[in-house]
Amino acid sequence: MTPSDKSNTLTENNMFPPPEVLKRLAISESGFVFDPASGHNFTVNETGLMLLRLMQKEQRLDDILKILTTEYDAEPRDIERDILDFVSTLRDNVGA
C-alpha cells in the first residue's frame, strides 16, 4: 500500500477503530461479536457483519460504498451516513 493509499483508508482517517482493535474481535457467522480485551460483546445484523468484515480487511470508504450500493437499494449518501452511525456505535462497544 502506498502512502497515498493509506491516507484514503477509513482506519487512517481515524473513522474506524484501529486495525489491531478490529482484528482482535471474535465475530461469529450469526453476528455475535466479542472483544476479548474489553470483555464487551454485542450482536450485529447481516449488514453490520458485512461492514465488520470489510473493515477488518481495511477496505477504503469508496470500496465499501460500492459494495453496499450493489447489495442494497439505497442512495450512496444514505449508506455512508449509516456506515458512520455504525462506526460510532462500534467505537462505543469496543472502547476505541
pLDDT in tens, 13-60: 567 888 888 999 999 999 999 999 989 899 999 999 999 999 988 787
Enter the C-alpha cell of residue 30.
Answer: 450469526
Which of 3.30.70, 1.10.10, 1.10.3470, 1.20.1630 is the CATH number of 3-94? 1.10.10
Q: Residues for the chain: how many in total?
A: 96
Q: How far apart are CA 48 and CA 59, in angstroms?
A: 15
Would you say the pTM of this structure is higher than 0.95?
Answer: no
- Domain boundaries defined on the chain: 3-94
pLDDT of residue 4: 41
Predicted local confidence at residue 9, as pLDDT: 47
